[in-house]
Amino acid sequence: MKIRIFYEQTNYRFPGWRRAVILFNRIIVSEGMIPGEVNFIITSDRFLKELNVKFLNHHYNTDVIAFDNNNGKVLNGEIYISKDTVKLNANNYKVSLKEEVLRVMIHGILHLTGYSDKLNIERDNMHKLENKWLKEFSKIS
């Protein structure tokens, strides 16, 4: 199992990375999957918008895009996060940047485990799971 984080076009560095890896493993296992290789890439709006246009034909900024490369029950993938959009969201929701980055990381992991957020009910369910796992993160020492 390898969970790595890369930074592209940003000076931001996510604090608490080792604790986050423990959390991500717990999420993956709780969803009945086997941890494989996951790469997080924290980047800029510009970079993420290019991916959004190229792969999803969406011509707008987003906070996170997850690319599933699972092999059966082995969870593998890449999760791209725009630090710029996440920072705006953190300000709008009045939470820390760290908390909002962690939320979208969890969101990306949930996508890789099979969750969708296209419908309102699906978004609500994912949001509840994000909150559950954010609380769990605070318990990891």
Would you state the pLDDT for residue 27?
Answer: 98
List C-alpha distances in Å: 88 to 94, 101, 118, 139. 10, 11, 22, 27
User: pLDDT tens for residues 3-48?
Assistant: 999 999 999 999 999 999 999 999 999 999 999 999 999 999 999 9
pTM (2 d.p.): 0.95
- Residue ranges of domains in the chain: 2-139
CB-CB contact of 105 with 58 (8 Å)? no
Residue 116 · residue 122 · CB < 8 Å: yes
Domain 2-139 sits in CATH at: 3.40.390.30
